[in-house]
Copies of this chain bind each other. A is one copy, B any other.
Amino acid sequence: MASEADSPKRPPRTSVWLEGKPATRPRRTDRGERGERGGLADPTPTPTSASTPAPALTTGEAAKGATPKAGAEQPPLLDRDRITTVSVRLLDAEGSAKFSMRRLAAELGVTAMSLYWYVDTKDDLLELALDAVFGEVRVPELTDETADWRDQLRELAVSYRSLLVRHPWVSPLIGKYLNIGPSSRAFSSAVLAVMGRTGLAPHGRMGAVSAVFQFVYGFGTIEGHFVQRCVEAGLTQDEYHRHAMGSIHEQPDVKRAFENAEELMEARGGETVEEMRERDFTFALDLMIAGIEAMRERG
């Protein structure tokens, strides 16, 4: 209806993957660099770096580029993969609140402005970091025709959840960008493929995908935030939980409102906060699968 002429702005940037700077530029170096489009930016397992509050991190990478020998034709100090990898490490270690172009540049032993040679904006950089961590998601063997779709769905859900918990900064970005980088797409394709094996009619598949993975997204988001809070406070999850409950009980009116919730917590059983969460997650996933089976019967 509305003509394009009266649109107040030009159509917006949609994604690094569509309109950003090219991943690599033509360059005259003799080492065959890895950086072709879609390089998954170092899929190291990233062994829960959130658990250590970033010790000697501040001077780690900086040394490498500290002494630029004058004279010889030097290779560039940076490339997109290195920028992306270090971004992920920094985001994991210090959280998104402390992540800045200047902080990242310092970590790379370079000034902030150098980064703009490789990315257009901070948003583009975050989109790259986002796709990089999606490379960590374990995708089930999709060619196996005999496998149970329930197992495959559970595997994807568990893997997605642990991604969100390992990298709490990821969750807001998933909402913000289109998630069309190569690793994000590999994940989405796997989800759709598995859903295709449920026996659900095509018109319901997208709804079922939403049900399962928006649930995992929400669950993992809240869980990740809580875990991060605990790490920052230097408390275990149970300690933090007790601390928060203690604070609540000091406020009589708030306390009353929480008695219901606490009864329910008793009923849930389990010793630790983690155990209870585990139970809830498993139950919810079983509920979804039962729901898919029921909807399948209805056509």
**Chain A residues within 8 Å of B, Cβ to Cβ:** 1-2, 7-9, 11-12, 14-15, 17-19, 37-38, 171-172, 174-176, 178, 180, 185, 188-189, 192, 202-208, 210-211, 213-219, 221-222, 224-225, 229, 232-236, 239, 243-244, 247-248, 250-251, 253-254, 257-258, 260-261, 264-265, 267-269, 276, 279-284, 286-295, 298
Q: Which residues of chain B come closer than 8 Å to A214, judged between CB atoms? A: 214-219, 222, 284
Q: State whether B225 touches A175 (Cβ < 8 A).
A: yes
Say whether A180 contacts B234, CB under 8 Å: no
Partner of A283, one of B7, B172, B295: B295
A17 to B221 alpha-carbon distance, docked (Å):
22
**Cβ–Cβ contact B295 & A293, under 8 A:** no
Query: Which residue of chain B has its CB nearest to the CB of A215?
Result: B215
Judging by beta carbons under 8 Å apart, are B172 and A211 in contact? no
Apart from the given pairs A9-B233, A11-B233, A11-B235, 13 other A-B contacts in the complex at a CB distance below 8 Å? A18-B254, A172-B172, A180-B248, A180-B258, A192-B260, A192-B264, A203-B283, A208-B283, A208-B287, A211-B287, A217-B218, A290-B295, A291-B292
Given A175-B222, A232-B12, A235-B11, also A287-B288 (CB < 8 A): yes
Kindly state the separation between the CA atoms of A216 and B97 in the bound complex, as whole angstroms. Answer: 26
